[in-house]
Amino acid sequence: MLEVQNLNVQVGDREVLHDINLEIPDGETHVLMGPNGTGKSTLLSTIMGFGNYTVTKGTILFRGKDITGLSVHERAELGIGLMFQRPPTISGLKLGTLLKATSKKTPEEVRKYAEKVNMGQFLERDVNKGFSGGEIKRSEVLQLMVQNPDFIMLDEPESGVDMENISVMGAAIGGLLEKDQNIVRRKKSGLIITHTGFILDFIDADKGHMMCDGTIKCHGNAREILKEIKERGYRECMQCH
Amino acid sequence: MPLGNNLASELSEDDTERISQSGIDLSRVSSCATYVQKDEDVLHSGCVDNGIEVLPVQKALEMYDWLREYCWNVVPKDKDDITKYVAAQKNPAGYVIIAKKGSKNIFPIQACVYLGRNQIQHVHNIIIAEEGAELHIISGCASAHHVGKGGAHYGVSEFYVKKDAKVSFTMIHTWGEEIDVFPRSASIIEENGVFLSNYVCMKPVHKVQMYPTAYLKGKNSVARFSSVVIATPESTMDLGSRAVLEAEGASAELITRAITLGGTIISRGHVLGKVSGTRGHLECKGLILKDGIIYAIPEIEGSVVGTELSHEAAVGKIAKEEIEYLMARGLSEEVATATIIRGFLDVKIAGLPEALQSQIDSAIDSAEKAGF
C-alpha cells in the first residue's frame, strides 16, 4: 500500500531523514521504534505532506501512485490518515462540527463512535481545548474513525492514556486497522510509533522498524525489536546497518 | 414574504431582503412585537402584548409623563455632536419598548430601522425592563442598495434594566459602503439585573463609531458585550464597550472577534472596577486575513482592593498547523480555512435565547457563504 524509496527530508536548513526505505503491504501494520528526536514523527509528517518538511530526494508511493508532490488534503482524500501526537487547539470549532465536516457518516453514527471512545460529552467542546493527554488521543482516534482512512499512521497512540481507557483505545485502533477481520479480507494498513509497546498488547504488528539518527537501521519482528530495546537499550540497534 | 399593506407600499422586495439580512422577519409584522421605521417614518409599531409595549418615541412621550425621567438620562444630550443633533430634532423618531413588571418574553421583539435616502437618519430609543421582566430585542439596521454618500444613521439608545430584570439587545448591521453610522447607547443595570448586548456586522460600511457604556449600579448585576465584525476594504469600524462596576458582586465581560479583509478596526474596551467584590474581563481576538488594521486598545482600571479585572488581546493570522490539521482530515485548504474562521467567529452568548443565537449564527454563516 505504501512505499517509501530513498527518502531524504529537510526541515529548515537541516536534513533530518536520510535514505529512508520502507514498504507496508495491504493489510499489514508496522511499528516504528527508536529514541526520541530521531525523526519518527518527521517521517509521518512527511508522508502526510506537511509544509515544513521538504523532500530533497526520493519518492513516496501510495498504491503505486507517486504522492510526493501532493497536498495534505489530496493525500487524505486518497485514504491516508494521521493521529497527531500534539494536535493544535482550534478555538471556537466544536469537535462535533469538525466531525460533521469530515464525515460521510450520519450524525447518529458519529455519536455512536464518540460513545465508543468515551468522547460523547466532548462533541460540544472546542477541538482539543483543555483536553487532557488521554482525551486528545481519544479525540484523534474518533476523528480517524469518522474519516475512515485506508492507511493509518499513529504517533504514540498510548501516551497519556489512563489504564481504564487504554483498552478502549486499543479496541478502537484495532477496529480502524480491521484487526477484527479475517487476515485474507483485511485491507487496511498502519504505521505506529511506539515507545512502550503497550499498543502491541491490542494490535498484532506484522513488522517492526528501528529508526536511529534519521534513518531506518533494522527491520524485523516488532516484539523482538522491542525486547532488545528493553533489555539492552538503543545502543546495539544504533550500530546496526 | 407576505407584508402588510403599509409595508408593502413602502418597502421594495430589495428592501425586505436587506432587512431580512439584519435578522428581521417582516412576515411576523402583524404581531405586536415588531417596530419598523424607514428613514423617520414609523411604518409599523406594536401594541401591548404579553406585558410588552412597543411605541414610537414621540407618541410614548405624549402618553407617559413619567417617561421623561428616562429620556436623555443615561445618555446625556450634550455628549457629542451626534447626541446634540438627535436631541435637537423637533419630531423625534425611534421606539420605546417597555417590558412590564414580571413579564417574561423569550421570543424576541423585532426593531427594524431602515435607511432609504441619502441623508441623516435620527433615532432615539428607550428600552425599559421593569422589575423581574425578561426582554429580548433584535435590532436590524439596514439601508437600501442605492443609498450612498451622505447617508448616515445617528442612533441613541437608552437601556434601563431594573431589579431582577434581563434584557438582551442583538444588533445586526447591513449598511452600505458609503454610509456612516454613529450609535450612542448606555445602560443602567440594577440589582441582579442582566444586560446582554450583541453586535454583528459582516457587511461593508463606510464608518461605524460606537462606545456603549453599561453602568452596573445594582448588587450582582451582570453585563456582557459581544461583538463579531468583519471590516471590508474602505470600512472603518471604531468599536468599543465600557462597563462601570459600581456595586458589590457586579460583573462584566466584553468580548470581540474581529476580522479585517483590508479595512480598519479599532477595538476599544474599558472596564472600571470602582467597588470591592467586582469582576471584569475583556477579550479581543483579531484575524488579519488581508492587509488592514486591527488596533486593539483594552483598558482595565481598578481603584479599590477586591476588584478583579483581566484582559486578553491577540491579533494575528490563522496558524498554518491548524489549516494542515483539518486538511489531514480531508478538507481542502479553502474549506479548512473557512471552517477555522467560522469557529473563530463563533461566540456563544450565555443566556441568549436559541432564536437569537440562530439569527446571529445565520448572519455569520451568510458571510462564510460569501467567502468572507
Domain boundaries, chain A: 2-239
In this predicted model, what pLDDT tens digit does every residue of B99-125 receive, in sequence order?
999 999 888 888 888 888 878 999 999
Residues of chain B contacting A147 with CB distance shorter than 8 Å: 329-330
Cβ contact B278:B250 at 8 Å: yes
What pLDDT score was predicted for residue B48?
A: 61
Angle at B103 between CA B97 and CA B106, to 5 degrees: 80
**Pairwise CB contact (< 8 Å): B331 & A101:** yes
Mean pLDDT of chain B: 90
Residue % of chain A over a pLDDT of 90 = 59
Please tell me the distance from the alpha carbon of residue A135 to that of residue A128, in angstroms, as a whole number: 8
Phi/psi at B11 (5° precision)? -115, 130
Supply the DSSP string of B21-54, one letter for each residue.
HTT--GGGTTSTTEEEEETTEEEE----BTTEEE
Residues of chain B contacting A90 with CB distance shorter than 8 Å: 322, 325-326, 340, 343
Please tell me the distance from the alpha carbon of residue A214 to that of residue A226, in angstroms, as a whole number: 19
Q: Which residue has the higher pLDDT, A22 or A184?
A: A22
Question: Using CB atoms, which residue from A75, A82, A93 is nearest to B343?
Answer: A93
The answer, for A11 touching chain B at a CB cutoff of 8 Å, is no
Please tell me the distance from the alpha carbon of residue B297 to that of residue B286, in angstroms, as a whole number: 12
Mean pLDDT of chain A: 90
Query: Does pLDDT of B197 surpass 70?
Result: yes
**Pairwise CB contact (< 8 Å): A71 & B333:** yes
Residues B240-268 have a mean pLDDT of 96
The answer, for A104 touching chain B at a CB cutoff of 8 Å, is no
What pLDDT score was predicted for residue B8?
A: 67
Q: Which residue has the higher pLDDT, B351 or A30?
A: A30
What pLDDT score was predicted for residue A89?
A: 95
What pLDDT score was predicted for residue B278?
A: 98
Range scoring the smallest mean pLDDT among A55-59, A183-187, B71-75, B178-182: A183-187
Whole-number Cα distances in Å, A123 to A83, A90, A126: 18, 13, 8
Smallest CA–CA distance, residue B335 to chain A, in Å, is 9
B219: amino acid identity, one letter:
K
Give residue limits of the domains in chain B: 4-318, 319-372
Which CATH superfamily includes the segment(s) A2-239? P-loop containing nucleotide triphosphate hydrolases (3.40.50.300)
Residues B148-160 have a mean pLDDT of 92
Whole-number Cα distances in Å, B207 to A44, B41, B175, B227: 49, 24, 10, 16
In terms of CA atoms, which chain B residue is nearest residue A146?
B329
What pLDDT score was predicted for residue A236?
A: 67
What pLDDT score was predicted for residue B23?
A: 79
Please tell me the distance from the alpha carbon of residue B342 to that of residue B364, in angstroms, as a whole number: 8
| Centroid of chain to Cα A21 | 17
Q: Which residue has the higher pLDDT, B122 or A199?
A: B122
In this predicted model, what pLDDT tens digit does every residue of A36-49 receive, in sequence order?
889 999 999 999 99
**Buried-state track B292-329, b at ≥16 Cβ within 10 A, e below 16:** bebebebebebeeeebebebebebeebeeebbbbbbbb
Question: Using CB atoms, which residue from B325, B330, B344 is nearest to A87?
Answer: B325
Report helix, strand or coil for B363. Answer: helix
In this predicted model, what pLDDT tens digit does every residue of B200-231 receive, in sequence order?
998 889 999 999 999 999 999 999 999 999 99
Whole-number Cα distances in Å, A95 to A87, A173, B331: 13, 19, 15
Cβ contact B147:B176 at 8 Å: yes
Angle at B128 between CA B122 and CA B133, to 5 degrees: 145
What pLDDT score was predicted for residue B182?
A: 96
Query: Does pLDDT of A193 surpass 90?
Result: yes
Please tell me the distance from the alpha carbon of residue A50 to that of residue B319, in angstroms, as a whole number: 13
Residues B303-312 have a mean pLDDT of 96
Residues A200-209 have a mean pLDDT of 87
pLDDT band, residue B357 (cuts 50/70/90) = confident
Residues B138-162 have a mean pLDDT of 89
Smallest CA–CA distance, residue B166 to chain A, in Å, is 26
What pLDDT score was predicted for residue A203?
A: 83
- Greatest mean pLDDT among A172-181, A229-238, B255-264 lies in B255-264
In terms of CA atoms, which chain B residue is nearest residue A89?
B322
Residues of chain B contacting A88 with CB distance shorter than 8 Å: 319, 321-322, 325
**Pairwise CB contact (< 8 Å): B327 & A94:** no
**Pairwise CB contact (< 8 Å): A92 & B335:** no
Q: Which residue has the higher pLDDT, A91 or B369?
A: A91
Phi/psi at A111 (5° precision)? -60, -40
B231 forms beta bridges with B260
pLDDT band, residue B262 (cuts 50/70/90) = very high
**Pairwise CB contact (< 8 Å): B333 & A92:** no
Q: Which residue has the higher pLDDT, B36 or B74?
A: B74
Cβ contact B272:B304 at 8 Å: no
Burial class (CB in 10 A: 0-12, 13-18, 19+), B115: buried
Residues A62-88 have a mean pLDDT of 96
Range scoring the smallest mean pLDDT among A202-216, B25-39, B324-338: B25-39
Which residue in the block uniquely carries the three cell numbers 493489510?
A: A27
Among A102, A103, A140, the strongest candidate for a mutation testing the B interface, having the largest count of B CBs within 10 A, is: A102
Smallest CA–CA distance, residue B334 to chain A, in Å, is 10
What pLDDT score was predicted for residue A30?
A: 95
In this predicted model, what pLDDT tens digit does every residue of A101-132 receive, in sequence order?
998 788 888 999 999 888 999 999 999 999 98
Q: pTM of the prediction?
A: 0.85
Among B321, B329, B342, B348, the strongest candidate for a mutation testing the A interface, having the largest count of A CBs within 10 A, is: B329
Residues A172-196 have a mean pLDDT of 85
Query: Does pLDDT of A88 surpass 70?
Result: yes
Residue % of chain B over a pLDDT of 70 = 95
C-alpha cell at A71: 497536498
What pLDDT score was predicted for residue B2?
A: 45
Cβ contact B135:B160 at 8 Å: no
Cβ contact B107:B73 at 8 Å: no
Residue % of chain B over a pLDDT of 90 = 66
The answer, for B357 touching chain A at a CB cutoff of 8 Å, is no
In terms of CA atoms, which chain A residue is nearest residue B344?
A92
Assembly ipTM: 0.94
Phi/psi at B13 (5° precision)? -60, -40
B11: amino acid identity, one letter:
L
Residues B245-255 have a mean pLDDT of 97
In this predicted model, what pLDDT tens digit does every residue of A132-171 receive, in sequence order?
888 999 999 999 999 999 999 999 988 888 887 888 888 8
Residues A47-76 have a mean pLDDT of 96
End-to-end CA distance of chain B: 27
